[in-house]
Amino acid sequence: MSDIDYASKVRDTHTKLKVNALNFWEVSAHAVALISPSMTAALIVPLMFATAAGAGWLCYLFGTIMLLFVALNLNQFAKRYTSAGSMYEYTVKGLGPRIGGVSGWCLLWAYLFIGIAGVTGFTHFASKLLTQAGATGYLSHPWITLFAICVGCAWFLAYKDITLSALMMLAMEGASVCVIMILALFALAKTGVVDHSQLAPFAGMGLKDVMKLMGLGVVVAIFSGVGFECATAFGEEAKKPLVTIPRAVIASLLLTGAFFVFITYTETHALANNNPTLDQLDAPLSTLSTNLGVSWMGVVISFGAMISFFALALSCLNSGSRILFSMGRYGIFPISIGSSHKLNLTPHVAITSFALLQFLIPTIVMLAVYAGAYNALGVGTPFDVFNDAGLFGAMGFCGGYVLISLAAPFYLKKIGEVKPYNWVLSIMAILLLIVPIVGTVYPEPSYPCNYFAFIFGAYVIAGIVLVIVRSRSRAEIASIRKVLEETAMTPGESPGLAAMPSDAATPAIA
């Protein structure tokens, strides 16, 4: 198909999203919901303790600083250009269509598996609450039924209206974090603030032992911290996107990073003498509530965690579907993937496709477990799937973060705005990202995590083949983008993708 023919095909497809739909707080709500601080407090802190022991809070501090460098590179695009494609489109503008396509491929993996972590986290806490209420007997396969409820409700909200999704996520996560903070402050008042073992976590260790703690520990920290970049996926739907989105990226990262450091330190300190130990707990906040004599808070927190995990699944569905939507508009996937609902102005085909994957993958794993494949898979419950999905998702984000950090100075060079510090930011981000990347393979993780990097590597190779075969030429993408800019605004509406002053001097494909 020629450049003109494909651009005409895009013109004939309804690809418009709802403009001026999200303010700063609503864009930030998506980012915070995807980062999901409640998820870290409720389930990831035990995983971090199993991985990094008393150095967990330090892994989160390192991870936040590392991701801040990534965010600063990301914002070089976000304050100059806006789209529904997030880091995929940004990487295309900096490094070209094929490398940009690989970035989008990595992000699809990342949002999919973090979304699955949200679905399985929801199921984990919903199962606990149903067990306490004596209601599990009413469901023949409760885990799969709860997968369907979570994904089905998330699909409906994402399909119906982006603003409604944002407001619900803001309320859900905000209430959950407030209750967790009250419990944490109460715990510190009871146990004291100073924990000498956490303030000197590497005492007596050699370099290999430190690397073992920090390497995979930072991967876990990325599992917690990813999501700040999803604010850029709503460029066509945000109000004043060139201002709103960069602020949301930084604000969501710094606020949640500080929360992670605090809550990891607090839980590790407050549960230091607990039996079983923190790494063996699948509901540490409930245990902490019981130890402190406020067990009723454990029920409240479990309910809040369940809702928070639903918000995580919803946020990943909204963000990941917009990457899929954008890649459909540019021809890597069928044009139908890049179409939008004429009434709701949501990418309904991409949302439905993404939701099906969010449901089918954990369901297939659980069916295999029911069939007796526990030993082969290394999983037995949604909690196990949650841990594995989170590590898988973190690997996808590492790939996307490396490419966006590399793309930023090249993009700025193309538009004549690069400064020496832009190269420094790029190099620092990539060097810091080496720590979690190496940490996925050295020292060798235990089974089944030791195979994860190879599985992800095979997925990336498949993506490279796909984008080589399917990616459009620079001229063709320029034609498509021109069509999108022409159709992004209708009479009486404010511009979405079109007429961005700071992008006016940018080459069409940059």
182-202 pLDDT tens trace = 999 999 999 999 998 899 888
Residue 374 has a pLDDT of 65
Contacts of 283 (CB under 8 A, 6+ apart): 42, 125, 128, 298, 302
For the domain spanning 3-503, the CATH number is 1.20.1740.10
Q: Which residue type, as a one-letter code, is found at position 74?
A: L
Structure-token pair, residue 130: 């149903």
**Could you write out the three-class secondary structure of 460-480?**
HHHHHHHHHHHCCCHHHHHHH
User: CB-hemisphere CA count at 13 Å for 310?
Assistant: 30
Looking up tokens 């803001």, which residue turns up?
170
Read off the pLDDT band of 91 (50, 70, 90).
very high
315 vs 140, which has greater pLDDT? Answer: 315
203 has pLDDT over 70:
yes
- Mean pLDDT is lowest, of 160-174, 274-288, 298-312, for 160-174
Please tell me whether residue 238 adopts helix, strand or coil conformation.
strand
Write out pLDDT tens, residues 382-438. Answer: 988 998 998 899 899 999 999 999 999 999 999 999 999 999 999 999 999 988 888
Split at pLDDT 50, 70, 90, the class of 505 is: very low
pLDDT of residue 65: 95
Given this model, what pLDDT does residue 232 score?
86
Q: Is the peptide bond before 448 cis (omega within 30 degrees of 0)?
A: yes
494 pLDDT more than 60: no
Dihedral sign computed on CA atoms, order 398, 15, 360, 128? positive
| 450-482 pLDDT, tens digit each | 889 999 999 999 999 999 888 776 677 777 667
Residue type, 283: A
Residue whose pair of structure tokens reads 């330090």 in the numeric block: 58
Identify the pLDDT of residue 503.
41
Contact in structure between 62 and 221 (CB atoms under 8 Å): yes
Checking if the pLDDT of 271 tops 70, the result is yes
Residue spans of the domains in the chain: they are 3-503
Task: Report the pLDDT value the prediction gives residue 496, as an integer from 0 to 100.
Answer: 41
Nearest to 81 by CA among 500, 508, 377, 391: 500
Lowest mean pLDDT among 140-149, 200-209, 316-325, 389-398: 200-209
The residue-averaged pLDDT of 116-141 equals 84
Burial of 492 (0-12, 13-18, 19+ CB in 10 A): exposed
Q: What separation in angstroms does the CA of 345 have from each of 15, 281, 327, 351, 492?
A: 8, 43, 17, 12, 16
Asked if the model's pLDDT at residue 293 lies above 70, the reply is yes
State the DSSP string of 330-391.
TTSS-GGGG---TTT-S-HHHHHHHHHHHHHHHHHHHHHHHTT-HHHHT--SHHHHHHHHHH
